[in-house]
Amino acid sequence: MTTRRALVSGLAAIALAMAAAGHALSRGDDGAAAAPWARRSCKAVVLEPRFAAPARAARRLVPRMKRAFGAPGLQMSVAVDGKVVWSEVCGFADVRSRRPVTRTTLFRIGSVSKPFTGAALARLVQAGRVKLDTPVQRLVPEFKATQPVTLRQLAAHQGGVRHYAGGEALGRTRYKNLAAAIGVFATDPLLFKPGTDFLYSSYGFNLIGVAIERVVQASYGRALRREVLTLLGLTLTGLDEPRRAGTATFYEIRGDRSAVRAPLVDLSNRYPSGGLVSTAEETARFASMIGNPTFLKKDVQAVFFREQRLPGGRRTGTALGWEIGESPVGVVLGHTGNVVGGTAFVLSHPASRVAIAMTTNVGWVTAPTPPSSGRRCPSRRSCCFPSSRRPREADVQGRSRQATFRAASSTSSSPGPPSSSARNAVRTVRGSLRCRFAASVSGSWNAPPQYAHGQCSRAISFAASPPG
C-alpha cells in the first residue's frame, strides 16, 4: 500500500507539474479578463482518506490547469486497481444553462480512444482469435495497399498509412459503419514500406477497428463493450453518438484563449481512433486495470507494453496502443487526446495499477493560430526536453502530427520520500511542459504545419520516483 500511495503521489505530481506549466501559459493571455465561468471553483467528489495527502498536493492547482486550457469544464481522477481514490470536477458542462460538471458528465476523449482499441485487440490476441502479425488485408480486403501491413505495425504507427489531410478532421459526414468510413483512405498509397518508419496515424487505428469487427463479427461498439467495457464495469464510456444523454456541450479555444461553441462534427469516421466519450473516472479506472492479469495476462502485457522500435533500434516512444516511457519504477504508459470539443490525457503505471486521467469539454483543433504560449516560453523548441529524440520528418501532408507523448526520465535512481519524489517529478517535467498546451495538444490544428502537432509533443517528459 505504501508503494501505491507513493505512485499516487508521483502521478499526482505530474498533474501538478502540468498545472504549473498551464499557469505559465495562462499568464500569456495579454491581460484579458477571465470569463465568469472560468472562475467557477473545483470540488473533490471522491477523496479516499488513504490517498488524501498526495491528492491535496495536486488538487489546489487543478483550477490553474483548467484556466490554462481555457476549459469551461474539467474532470480529474486517480484510480488504483480499478477503484477511484480521488476525483475532482470543475466548471460547467454547459455554460449557457450553467449546468455543472459532475462525475458522470461525458466528454470527448479524442485519441485517448486508441488505448481502448488497443486493449480490445490485446484481448483478442490473448484469446487466440487473431495474431498481431496477420496482414490486415486478410481481414479488411477493402484496404488496397499493395504491401502487407500487419496489425502490429498499425498499432505501433509503423504501417505507412496516412493521417488526416485537409479538413478531414472536421468532417460532418455520417457513416453507416466503419467499413464505409475507411473508404476515405483505403486506396491511397502507403507513405513508406511498413515497419521501416514511424507516422502517427488515426486511420491506421480505424483499420484495426474494422479488423476487430471482422474477428468478433459485431460492430466496433459492441465488440468494445464485450471485450473491454463490460469486463471492467465501465457503463458510461462508449461511442460519441448524436444527442447522447449526459454529454457535455463542446467548445473550441480561440487565438485569444477564449472558448466558443464548437462546430458540429461527426466522429463516426473515427470511433476506434478518436471517437469515444468517457469520464475521467472511467478512463482512469480502465488505465489502472490494464496491468491486472485477470484482464490482460502478463505475457500479453509484455508484448503490448513494450516500445516498438524501428530498424537499427531507432526509438519511437510508442507501444501498441499507447505511448511509453521508462522511469525509475519501470514502464509508464500514456496518451493524450484532442478532438473538436474535447481534450484529455491518461497516464498509467501498470506494475502498481495506478492511473490518472483528465477530461475537458474544450478542443484545440480549430484555432487559426496557436494561442499565446506565455511570456516564459520564448520559443516552443526551447521548451522541449533536450534529450528527447524526434523521428525524421517527412515532407508529406499529415506528417507533422507525430506521436503525442514522449516519455523519458532523468530523475535520480536513489528514490527519496514521497515529498522528494514529487519535487523530482515537478523539476523534471516543468521545463518540457511549458509549451505543452499551446504547441502540442494532440489533434489536428487548422493551421500551417509549423504550428501543427510535433513542436514540443515528442519532448514531453515525465517522471515518478517513489520509494520502493
Q: How confident is the model at residue 113 (pLDDT cuts 50, 70, 90)?
A: very high
DSSP 350: T
Model confidence pLDDT, tens digit, residues 152-193? 999 999 999 999 998 899 999 999 999 999 999 999 999 999
Residue 226 domain-assigned? yes
Does the structure show a pLDDT above 70 at 124?
Answer: yes
Give the pLDDT confidence of 337-348 residue by residue, as tens digits.
999 999 999 999
**Cα–Cα distance for residue pair 51/72, rounded to 1 Å:** 27
Contact partners, residue 61, CB within 8 Å, separation at least 6:
15, 16, 19, 20, 23
Question: Is 88 among the domain residues?
Answer: yes
Return the pLDDT at 276.
98
Domain range enclosing 364: 2-459
In three-state secondary structure terms, 90 is strand
In this structure, what CATH number is given to the domain that contains residue 26? 3.40.710.10
**pLDDT for position 66:** 87
**Percentage of the chain exceeding pLDDT 70:** 70
In a domain, 468, yes or no: no
User: How much is the average pLDDT of 400-415?
Assistant: 29
- Is residue 49 domain-resident? yes
Q: What is the pLDDT of residue 58?
A: 79
Is residue 399 one of the residues assigned to a domain?
yes
In a domain, 210, yes or no: yes
**Total tally of structural domains belonging to the chain:** 1
Q: Residue 326: beta bridge partners?
A: 331
* pLDDT tens column, 29-38: 433 344 554 5
Task: Indicate whether 467 belongs to any domain.
Answer: no
Given this model, what pLDDT does residue 33 score? Answer: 42
Which cell numbers hold the place of 60?
A: 489546489
Sheet with 238-239, edge to edge strand ranges: 107-108, 276-278, 238-239
What is residue 170's three-state secondary structure?
A: helix
Res. 16: pLDDT tops 70: no
- The pTM of this model reads 0.80
| Matching residue, cell 489502472 | 288
Q: Assess if residue 464 is contained within a domain.
A: no
Dihedral, 444, 282, 270, 268 alpha carbons, nearest 10 = -120
